[in-house]
Amino acid sequence: MSLGTIVMTGAAGQVGTSLRESLYEDAGRLVLIDRAPMPAGRPGEELRQLEVTGPEDLIPVVEGADAIVHLAGVPDEAPLADLLTGNVLGTQHVLEAARRTGVRRVVLASSNRLTGCYPTAETVSPEMPPRPDGLYGVTKVAVEALGRLYVDKFGLEVVCLRIGSFEAEPTEARHLATWLSPRDCAGFVRAALTVETDFLVAYAVSANTQRFWELSDELGYVPQDDAETRAAEITGTFAIGQRPQGGEFAAPGYTLEHGRLPAV
C-alpha cells in the first residue's frame, strides 16, 4: 500500500536520512525539507532547502500532501530560547500549515527525554505524567500538548513518537534499555502514518530485554531488534534502581552546561 505524498522535515538529520531510505519504496512521493543541504534526489523525491520561520514558508510545500513527518528541531539540551524557537514554535508552524492546507495526519518527533527523571526500576507508559530530564524534554512536553490542541480544536490526526536512542548499533550501557534501531524506527513511523486514530502518544524503542517503556498496543507495531544481542560488546553498566532513566541527561550539570544556566 502506497503511503501517498509524505512531507518530512529535518530530512538531513540522522533519523531523517535513515527514514528517507526506508520510506522511499512506500511513498508515492517524498518531499524532503531541511535548512541544510541534502544529497541529490531520486525519481519521486523533491528536495526543499529552506528555513522555516512561519507556516507561510511551509504552506506551498505541504499543499496536497497526505501526511507530514516532523523531525526538525533542536535535538538536545540548549539555551531555552533556542529550544522554544526550534522545537515549540517550529512544531506550531508545521501544525498550522497542516491545518490551513487540509493535511490530516501529522507525525511528531517527541522524545524519551520527556520522562527521563523516572527511575530505571519503573516501567513508564505514555499515560503517566511527564518528568522531563532537562529543558529539551520540557519542550517535548509542549510539542505533545500542541499536537493534542490541534486534534481537539482543529480536527487534525496526530501521532507523537517518543523516540529512543536512535543508533545504527547500541554502543553504551544505557542503550541496552533505550536503543531504537533504524529498522524499528522505520516500522514505528510507517505505523504512525497508517494507524486509525485521532491522537496517540507512543514510545518508539526496539524490543530490548531491559527496556523500561511500555509499547503501544494501539499503534500496532511490534519491534524486531534487541540491544541485548550486542550486550557482550558494550562496556560499563547502567544499573536498574533509583537512577534516572535519562542517565547523564538527568544530571544537573548537563542542563547547566548545555542549557547555559548560571551555576550557584
> What angle is formed at CA 70 by the lines to CA 125 and CA 261, rounded to 5 degrees?
75
Dihedral sign for Cα 242, 247, 253, 255, please.
negative
Residue 254 a catalytic site member: no
Catalytic entry in 136, 150, 221, 254: 136
Handedness of CA 201, 15, 215, 190 (dihedral sign): positive
Indicate the DSSP class of residue 113: G
Side-chain half-sphere of 79: how many Cα atoms within 13 Å? 5
3-class SS of residue 256: helix
Number of neighbours of residue 61 by Cβ within 10 angstroms = 20
Helix boundaries (H) for the chain: 14-23, 55-62, 80-83, 90-101, 135-154, 175-178, 182-194, 252-258
Place of cell 551555576: 263
Q: Which amino acid is at 180?
A: L
Catalytic residue set: 136
